[in-house]
Amino acid sequence: MAFSKSIQKIVNDKVNRLENVPDAFADRMVAIQRAKFSDIIGLLDELDYTNGSIVVNEANLLKIEQIVEQAKDLLTTGEFETVVGELMGEFDKQASITYQYFDEAFEGFEVPTIANEILAQKKREAVIDLLNSTDQYLTNPMRQALSNAVTSGASRNDVLSVFRLLIEGDSDTVGRLERATRQVVSDTFALSDRAVTKEVSDQLGATWFLYVGGLLDTTRPFCKARNGKYFPKAEVQSWGANPSWAGAMAGTDEKTIFVTAGGYNCQHSILPVSEAVVPDRFKQ
C-alpha cells in the first residue's frame, strides 16, 4: 500500500520546501547586496585621501569602526529585517504542512503543545544564528579589510575592489551577506522541520520511517544511500550510534539523529509513516 495521492502531494510539498525556501531567501540576500553596494561604497568617502590614496592618520583609524557599523546597518536593517520576518512565516507554514500530513496519515492526531513550543524556540535560534553569522562572515571581514587598507595607505580603487568582492562577490565567490545567511537558513529551516516532525512522531509512537528528500550534486553518500527507503526506528537510531560520515552534525546520537539526519546542509526528512504503507521488501 502506497501513499494516497493527497498524502503524497503533502509529502512532496514538505520536502521540496526544505530546498526551495532557503534558496528563495538566498536570492533575496543577493538582491539586497546589489541594491546596497553603491551606498556602502559611498561610505569610503568619509576617509581622508591624498593623491587617491588613504592617509595613514589617527582620524582615519577612528573612522574604521564607524564605517563598518554603517555598512552593516545598510545590509541588515530595513529590507533584510522584512525578509527575515517573512522567513519566520515560512517556519510556521512548514509546521502547518507537517501537521496536515500527520492529520491525514495517522488516526487520532492532535498537535502537541510542546511541538509548537519547539517551533518557537527554533525560530528564535534561527534569528540569533543569522545575526551571529553576519558578524562572522560580513562585519569582521569588512573590518579587517578596511583596517588593512587604512594602515597601509591603500588607494581608493584598491579598497573599492576589495569591498566589491566582499559585498557582491564574483564568478568564483558569493557575496558575504549571501554566504553568511545561506547555510544558516538551510540548516535551521531543516532542523526546525525535523524537530517538529520528531516530536509528533514520538507522541504517536511511530515505528517506521521514510528517508525522503531531493538529490542534488552536493548530496552526500549517506543521504543518497537512504533516500526513498523505509527503515524501522531501531535502524534509524543505529545510524546515530556511530556518526562517522562526512558532514555529520556535532551532537548526533541515537536520539538526535531524527533531527540532525545527514548533517550540515542536509535537506532530507526522516518522515514517520504508518506501517501499512511500508512495502513488504523493507519489512523483510
Phi and psi at residue 207, to the nearest 5°: -120, -10
pLDDT at 1: 56
- At residue 43, the 3 state secondary structure works out as helix
Position 89 scores a pLDDT of 98
Is this model's pTM higher than 0.75 or not? Answer: yes
pLDDT at 206: 95
pLDDT along the chain (284 residues), means of 10: 87 95 95 92 94 95 95 93 97 98 92 96 96 92 94 94 90 87 94 97 95 83 94 96 92 96 94 94 88
Instruction: Choose among 103, 173, 101: nearest CA to 137.
Output: 173
Helix (H) or strand (E) holding 212: strand 208-213
pLDDT recorded at residue 214: 81
Grid cell listed for 9? 502531494
What span, in angstroms and rounded, lies between the C-alpha atoms of 197 and 119? 10
Q: CB neighbours of 44 closer than 8 A, spacing ≥ 6?
A: 67, 156, 159, 160, 163
Question: In which order are the strands placed within the sheet that holds 208-213?
Answer: 229-232, 208-213, 268-273
- Pairing mode, strands 229-232 and 53-54: unpaired
Domain boundaries, the chain: 5-205, 206-284
